[in-house]
Structure 1
Amino acid sequence: MALREITRVEVLRAIEEYDRLGRDVFLLAQGFGEARRFRLSYQGRLYDSKAIVGAAHGYLPGQSALVARDFSGGVATVVALLRRLGFTVIDAKATEGDGSAGHPEYTAFEAAIADLRMRATRQGPALHQPILLLWAIGRARRGDARLTPWSTTEREVGKLLSRHGARGERPRPDYPAAALHRAGLWEMRDHGGPAPSADGDRDLARWFDAQQPRTGLPLPVYETMRDSPPDRARSVGTLLRYFVGVDQPAVFAFLSEVGLGQEGGVPASSAGPVALEGAETAYADAVRTAARYEQLCRSVERGEVARHGRRVPRQTQELLRSAPAREAVLIRSADRCENPRCCGQPDDRTDNGDPILEVDHVQELALGGRDHPSQMIALCPNCHAVKTRGRTRETFRAELLSVAERLHYAMCHARGPEFST
Structure 2
Amino acid sequence: MAVNIPEGITHQDVLDGIARFDAGQSHEFGESTGYDLVYRDKRYPPKAILALAASRLNNGKPLANFFKGGKRSEAFRILDGLGFVIEPKGRKRGLARTRDSRYWTPGELRASVGAYLDMLGREHRGESFVKKEVIRRLLSGPLASRSRGSVEYRFENISSVLHDLGLVWVTGYKPHSNVGANVAGKIREMLVELGAFAPDDFMPTADPDELEHRSVGLQRAGISQIPAGVSAPQMASSTSTTFVRDPRVKAWVLQQADGICECCGNPAPFRTDDGRPYLEVHHVQPLADGGPDVVENVVAICPNCHRALHHGFDRSQALSSLFDMIDRLEKH
Please report the TM-score for the alignment, with normalisation by the length of structure 2.
0.32
The structure with more helix, counted as a fraction of residues: 1
Higher radius of gyration, 1 or 2: 2
Please report the TM-score for the alignment, with normalisation by the length of structure 1.
0.26
